[in-house]
Chain A
Amino acid sequence: MARVKLTNVQKVYDKNVIAVNDFNLDIKDKEFVVFVGPSGCGKSTTLRMIAGLEEISGGTIEIDGVVVNDLQPKDRDIAMVFQNYALYPHLSVFENIAFPLRIQKMPQDEIFKRVTNAAEILGITDYLNRKPRALSGGQRQRVAIGRAMVRDSKVFLMDEPLSNLDAKLRNQMRAEIILLRQKINTTFVYVTHDQTEAMTLGDRIVIMKDGLIQQVGTPDEVFDMPKNLFVAEFIGAPKMNTFETDLIREGNEYYVKPFGAKIKVDGSKGEELKKADIKPAKVILGVRPEHILLGHEGDPDSIECTVQVNEMMGSELHLHVLTKDNTSLIVRVPTVNLTHEQRDAMVNGHKIYITFAGKVMHFFDKETKNNLLY
């Protein structure tokens, strides 16, 4: 249990490749922070710098108030779970979990107690005598988590622990990590490229791109108020629809005019625009697929589209539609309220009418790509 503080942390390879740039983050005690971003964004490098596996080129990292820049991994009191499990193949599951305790020269009975306890929590008691090669992927990852758990270390680091598992197992393990977190209650730093994992696991999410932090916030914050276009498109699945359009003001009301339609920005969004006194301009409009509604022919706020691809997900349809000026949009339509006629109208090649929910639109500056309301 500890606070982790990163101040102006930088990682430079070969004198000119900047992997992480000016990284500032204060991770609170017992907080679960997720670093997320596309590959090559520097998230793993940052984690490995906290672990001590990479040298820090600039800035400081503090764990529990102590600057750890020049400390070896073994002296930092951290535990880490690796993407590829990194189990010791010559040791049994029991000895794998006991390994860090044996290095600490812990008494035998204490080792036994801790290992069996961890094995029970993770449900791997039956495999304690097996070698890692006799385990499945999910079991191996559990052993790796067990090995990190028994230490009671200050910080728990996880580097894409689920990305080697198949989709079903990944969902299951994700839920188990949430449970595990409730049981061991320590500071977690978790790295993933999967926004679903980030959203479901993190107290706070750090979204990175090209070595720079794009936004830090709770899952709600980054979803509802993305700081810039990158965050908006990265968080949420399917990804947000973004396109250029005109933002206009008529009296006290704001409107957008996408694809020939005229849609009012209502609710809190309208208020916020007014409060910030946003000037009418050409903006990038962001609309999440779930915030696109079905419209009616003839309505001024309806946009005529052609269905290109219809993905039936069960509880919802993912429609890939094409507007008249050939912009591709994704629409999420819940199937629960659809009539048969409506569903039949949504096959490939058919015309449908859509409109946007005005209160949950996002507006980004055309040049800076920043959220106009952030």
Chain B
Amino acid sequence: MDKKKQHMGMKAKTRLSNGIIYTALTIISIIWLFPFFCLVCESFRCESTYQVEYIIPQKWGFDNYINLFTKTDFPIWFKNTFIIALFVSVLQTIIVLCMSYTLSRLRFKSRKPLMNLMLILGMFPGFLSLILLYKLLSSWGMTNANSIPGLILVYVASSGMGYYVSKGYFDTIPRSLDEAARVDGCTRAQVLTKVILPLAKPIVIYTILTAFMGPWGDFMLANYVAHATSAGMNVAVGLQNMIGTSSSMAANYTMFCAGGVIVAIPITILFMALQKYYVEGVTGGAVKG
């Protein structure tokens, strides 16, 4: 009887703590999701184009989306951003993974100093070099209308510094697997592609996602490089330009919100498509554990 009582007490305790946790989580997620909810509502509001003091639209419709694609350069911006993000995600992923593998597996003299240098460089905010980058790109003719290759260049150039997470993951893969593969006839590159990467799928996916999202949402650098020519802008800059003045704000606000919703779509699709590869525990059984 006593035992049963204790047992019930335990159950009740678990229930109570779960209740508190779920309530807290619900409140947090409401706070977090609320702006998105407002954004979506605004994007479907048809009765006015300026900011209003209520959330639920009085008249729903797709006007803002249609206008966005027909009356602005949004399709160009979208295409620009997509090209940039695509190139950067491919190039940056390759560079980051090679870099991580090198720092994780090879032992060379400047390894430690190099890692320290990158750590210190990473502490400086990126915008410190904005003016200089603009000067460089502009002298090479890679600004405004030609900003796409310029932006790709800048994003990719610094990608080697993002090695931390994947190096950390590679470090957990036993080195004897590398050695076995090398004895089995692999070159270093084959070791990476045939053994390490299949085992590091989650981290490869993570690298692709972050490499894609960085340029997709970048505003600061893109705004410098393509500030004058609409044809060279990415979505963030283009949309910001749409509401740059108070008059354009009043005329384009709901359209701006529609743009915001559309920008989120590719990222969401990418995430959902790659999500299933986030599988843990792929290294089980490799070596005696």
Contacts and interface: CB of A to CB of B under 8 A. Distances in A.
Contact of B186 (A52, A74, A87, A89): A74
B174 A84 contact: yes
Contacts of B184: 74, 99-100, 103, 147, 151
Given A86-B176, A90-B199, A53 B182 contact: yes
B157 interface: no
Interface in B167-181: 174, 176-177, 179-181
Interface in B128-184: 174, 176-177, 179-184
Interface string A84-103: 11111110000000011001
Contacts of A86: 174, 176-177, 179-180, 286-287
B284 A133 contact: yes
A344 to B, nearest CB: 45
A330 interface: no
Contacts of A80: 179-180, 183
A90 B198 contact: yes
Contacts of A88: 177, 180-181, 195, 286
A78 B182 CA distance: 10
A73 B286 contact: no
B241 to A, nearest CB: 48
Contact of A85 (B182, B190, B284, B288): B288
A103 B185 contact: yes
A79 B180 CA distance: 9
A374 to B, nearest CB: 37
A72 interface: yes
A87 B288 contact: no
A83 B176 CA distance: 9
A135 interface: yes
Contacts of A157: 183
Interface in A46-93: 51-53, 72-74, 78-80, 82-90
A164 interface: yes
Contacts of B283: 89
A104 interface: yes
A53 B105 CA distance: 12
A72 B186 CA distance: 10
A291 interface: no
A330 to B, nearest CB: 33
Contacts of B285: 87, 89, 131-135, 140
A82 B180 contact: yes
Nearest to B187: A74
B282 interface: yes
Given A84-B174, A88-B195, A104 B288 contact: no
Number of chain A interface residues as a range: 20 to 34
A85 to B, nearest CB: 6
A137 interface: yes
Interface core residue of B181, B184, B187, B288 (most chain A CB under 10 Å): B184
Interface string A193-216: 000000000000000000000000
A94 to B, nearest CB: 15
B267 to A, nearest CB: 28
A333 to B, nearest CB: 38
Interface in A103-142: 103-104, 131-135, 137, 140
A164 B288 contact: yes
Contacts of A73: 179, 182-183
Contacts of B287: 82, 84-87
Contacts of A84: 174, 176, 287-288
A314 B184 CA distance: 45
A78 B185 CA distance: 9
Given A88-B195, A89-B286, A72 B174 contact: no
B185 A104 contact: yes
Contacts of A78: 183
A175 B217 CA distance: 64
Contacts of B198: 90
Contacts of A79: 183
Nearest to A51: B183
Given A80-B180, A88-B177, A90-B199, A103 B186 contact: yes
Nearest to A85: B287
Nearest to A134: B285
A82 B284 contact: no
A151 B184 CA distance: 8
B54 to A, nearest CB: 55
Contacts of B190: 103
Interface in B274-289: 282-288
A17 to B, nearest CB: 15
Contacts of A99: 181, 184, 194
Interface core residue of B183, B187, B190, B199 (most chain A CB under 10 Å): B183
Interface of B: 174, 176-177, 179-187, 190, 194-195, 198-199, 282-288
Ranked 4 nearest A-B pairs via Cβ: A133-B285, A84-B287, A132-B285, A100-B184
Interface of A: 51-53, 72-74, 78-80, 82-90, 99-100, 103-104, 131-135, 137, 140, 147, 151, 157, 164
Given A52-B183, A88-B177, A135-B285, 12 more contacts: A51-B183, A53-B182, A72-B182, A82-B179, A82-B180, A84-B174, A84-B176, A84-B288, A90-B199, A103-B186, A133-B284, A140-B288
23 contacts: A53-B179, A53-B183, A74-B182, A74-B185, A80-B179, A84-B174, A85-B288, A86-B176, A86-B177, A86-B179, A86-B180, A87-B285, A87-B286, A87-B287, A89-B283, A90-B198, A99-B181, A131-B285, A132-B285, A132-B286, A133-B286, A140-B285, A140-B288
